[in-house]
Amino acid sequence: MKILFTSLFISALSFIGLCQAPQSFSYQAIARDASGLGISNQNIGLRISILEGSTTGSSVYTETHLIKTDANGVLNLAIGTGTATNGTLSTINWGAGTYFVQIEMDITGGTTYVLMGTSQLLSVPYALYAGNVNMTKNNTPMEVYISDEGNMHALPKIAVEKPYSPTPSVTDIDGNTYGTVKIGTQVWMTENLRTKKLNDGTVIPNVTNGTDWINLTSPAYANCNNTLNTDTINAFGRMYNFYAVNTNKLCPTGWHVPSNAEVQTLLTYLGPLTGFRIRAKEYWTDNRNAINDSKLSAYPAGERIQQYLPGQFVGIGTNAAWWSSTASSSTHAFILMINDNTVSGSYATSLIERQSFTGESVRCVKN
Count of alpha carbons within 13 angstroms of residue 209, beta-carbon side: 4
Q: How do the pLDDT tens digits run along the chain, 367 residues long? A: 444 433 333 333 333 334 444 467 777 777 776 666 778 889 999 999 999 989 899 999 999 999 998 888 888 888 888 999 999 887 887 767 788 889 898 888 999 998 888 888 765 554 555 555 556 777 778 877 777 777 777 788 899 999 999 999 999 999 999 999 999 999 999 999 999 999 999 999 999 999 999 999 999 999 999 999 999 999 999 999 999 999 999 999 999 999 999 999 999 999 878 888 999 989 998 888 888 999 999 999 999 998 888 999 999 999 999 999 999 999 999 999 998 764 333 345 677 889 999 999 999 999 9
| Segments forming the whole domain that contains residue 98 | 2-130
Q: Residue 263 and residue 321: Cα distance in Å, rounded?
A: 12
Is the Cβ–Cβ distance between 221 and 206 less than 8 Å? yes
Is the Cβ–Cβ distance between 115 and 104 less than 8 Å? yes
Q: Residue 150 and residue 144: Cα distance in Å, rounded?
A: 12
Does 173 reside within a domain? Answer: yes
Does 32 reside within a domain? Answer: yes
Q: Which of 235, 334, 215, 251 is nearest to 223 (CA)?
A: 235
What is the structure's pLDDT at 199?
97
Shared domain for 202 and 313, answered yes or no, is: yes
Shared domain for 90 and 164, answered yes or no, is: no
What's 62's domain CATH number? 2.60.40
Given 77, 112, 130, the domain boundary residue is: 130
For the chain, first and last CA: distance in Å?
69
Given 83, 111, 130, the domain boundary residue is: 130
Length of the chain in terms of residues written: 367
Shared domain for 172 and 280, answered yes or no, is: yes
Shared domain for 57 and 168, answered yes or no, is: no
**Residue 114: DSSP 8-state:** E
Inter-CA distances, 356 with 192, 328, 337, 343, Å: 19, 10, 15, 31
Does 138 reside within a domain? Answer: no
Shared domain for 78 and 178, answered yes or no, is: no
Shared domain for 166 and 124, answered yes or no, is: no
Is the Cβ–Cβ distance between 313 and 225 less than 8 Å? yes
Given 87, 115, 130, the domain boundary residue is: 130
Q: Residue 78 and residue 80: Cα distance in Å, rounded?
A: 6
Shared domain for 218 and 360, answered yes or no, is: yes
Q: Cis link prior to 272 (omega < 30° from 0)?
A: no
Does 142 reside within a domain? Answer: no
Phi and psi torsions of 244, nearest 5°: -70, -40
Structural domains in the chain (count): 2
Does 359 reside within a domain? Answer: yes
Shared domain for 120 and 185, answered yes or no, is: no
What is the DSSP code string of 54-89? STTSPEEEEEEEEEE--TTSEEEEEETSSEEEES-G
Shared domain for 93 and 242, answered yes or no, is: no
Q: Residue 84 and residue 24: Cα distance in Å, rounded?
A: 12
Does 137 reside within a domain? Answer: no
Q: Which of 285, 280, 291, 198 is nearest to 238 (CA)?
A: 198
Shared domain for 104 and 220, answered yes or no, is: no
Q: Residue 172 and residue 187: Cα distance in Å, rounded?
A: 16
Phi and psi torsions of 193, nearest 5°: -60, 145
226: burial class by Cβ within 10 Å (0-12, 13-18, 19+)? middle
Q: Residue 224 and residue 356: Cα distance in Å, rounded?
A: 18
Q: Which of 161, 180, 182 is nearest to 169 (CA)?
A: 180
Does 153 reside within a domain? Answer: no
Does 154 reside within a domain? Answer: no
Shared domain for 236 and 327, answered yes or no, is: yes
Shared domain for 75 and 168, answered yes or no, is: no
